[in-house]
């Protein structure tokens, strides 16, 4: 169980500040875009020297498209913590990936539940997304979204099992109808015996479908954010995180300040030290400009 977060902000302003933002539902609007206002606001903050980066369930390839024009300098946390990555080069600075046997068990368990697995992998040099034929509506959206922004990782495979022993698997991903998500999680947890962490959440972009993900137990945002701070020489910095969903709670548990937009999940709002306007109103960027920007910012 994750320990309740402790607010440690008082009297520690001399440590410097590191800000880490989630994307979907937090920085991005509900149509999965970053508004021109948000882009300009982030650049204003970054150009003024604010230490800010992102931690997302999305890949670096998606971030590069969604955040095009944003002048991030720090590494990013991608795939919920599976990778700590230099966004400019795509080089992974650290990784937490599944072993082959765990990946195969997850694939077989999902197939027994009537759904196909999509694998997000790293072959030691390049990232890939491997998928088979006959995908359901949720998984089809997942692949089509990547095709739309020209994701170079996509690889069609007759059988994704062949990938498991050849590459490092960052995540096993599948989509199930919402009313089957609870059973899918239970079956995966039973089969994996703790060798993989299982997360399921309703997909905000494909109503009726939940995304189920199996990842390394240490591939979570809290651990990844701590590793990020150490990697950039800011282990003692005051940490402020921004998020809206349950996968953000691990980084909420290690942060000094925890900010959520008003559209966040109730469990996230309950742990927030500050609540902003909704993501569709660019609430987080407006909060950052007000709290961290020049006096004229709004």
**3-class secondary-structure state, position 249:** helix
Region 22-44: what's the mean pLDDT?
A: 97
Q: Based on the domain organization, do 106 and 194 belong to the same domain?
A: yes
Region 144-164: what's the mean pLDDT?
A: 94
The model's pTM is: 0.86
pLDDT in tens, 187-242: 999 999 999 999 998 998 999 999 999 999 999 999 999 999 999 999 999 999 99
Q: Based on the domain organization, do 207 and 286 belong to the same domain?
A: no
pLDDT in tens, 162-186: 999 999 999 999 999 999 999 999 9
> At 214, phi and psi to the nearest 5?
-115, 130
Region 260-286: what's the mean pLDDT?
A: 98
Q: CATH number of the domain that 170 lies in?
A: 3.30.1240.10
Pairing of strands 118-122, 127-131: antiparallel
Mean pLDDT computed over every residue of the chain: 92
Pairing of strands 83-85, 257-261: unpaired
Range of the domain at 21: 15-95+220-292
Q: What share of the chain is helix, strand, coil (3-state, %, to 5)?
A: 35, 25, 40
pLDDT at position 296 is: 55
Q: Based on the domain organization, do 90 and 228 belong to the same domain?
A: yes
pLDDT at position 279 is: 98
Cα–Cα distances (Å) from 177 to 192, 210, 245, in that order, read 21, 6, 19
> At 26, phi and psi to the nearest 5?
-120, -75
Q: Based on the domain organization, do 201 and 237 belong to the same domain?
A: no
Q: Based on the domain organization, do 284 and 182 belong to the same domain?
A: no
Domain contains 8:
no
Is the pLDDT at 13 greater than 90, yes or no?
Answer: no
Q: CATH number of the domain that 61 lies in?
A: 3.40.50.1000
């Amino acid at each position: 169980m994750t320990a309740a977060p402790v607010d440690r902000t008082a009297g520690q302003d001399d440590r410097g500040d590191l800000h880490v933002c989630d994307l979907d539902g937090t920085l991005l609007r509900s149509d999965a875009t970053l508004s021109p206002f948000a882009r300009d606001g982030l650049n204003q903050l970054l150009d003024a020297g604010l230490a800010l980066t992102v931690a997302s369930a999305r890949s670096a390839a998606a971030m590069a498209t969604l955040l095009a024009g944003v002048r991030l300098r720090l590494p990013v946390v991608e795939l919920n913590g599976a990778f700590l990555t230099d966004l400019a080069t795509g080089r992974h600075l650290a990784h937490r990936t599944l072993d082959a046997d765990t990946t195969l068990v997850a694939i077989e368990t999902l197939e027994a539940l009537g759904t196909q697995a999509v694998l997000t992998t790293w072959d030691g040099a390049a990232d890939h997304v491997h998928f088979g034929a006959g995908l359901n509506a949720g998984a089809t959206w997942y692949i089509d979204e990547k095709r739309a922004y020209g994701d170079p990782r996509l690889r069609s495979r007759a059988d994704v099992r062949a990938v498991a022993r050849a590459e490092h698997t960052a995540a096993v991903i599948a989509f199930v109808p919402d009313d089957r998500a609870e059973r899918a999680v239970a079956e995966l947890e039973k089969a994996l015996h703790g060798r993989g962490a299982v997360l399921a959440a309703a997909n905000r972009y494909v109503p009726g479908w939940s995304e189920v993900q199996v990842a390394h137990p240490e591939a979570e945002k809290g651990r990844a954010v701590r590793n990020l701070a150490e990697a950039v020489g800011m282990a003692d910095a005051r940490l402020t995180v921004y998020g809206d969903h349950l996968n953000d709670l691990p980084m909420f548990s290690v942060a000094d300040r925890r900010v959520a937009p008003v559209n966040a999940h109730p469990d996230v709002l309950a742990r927030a030290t500050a609540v902003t306007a909704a993501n569709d109103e660019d609430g987080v960027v407006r909060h950052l400009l007000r709290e961290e920007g020049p006096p004229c910012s709004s």
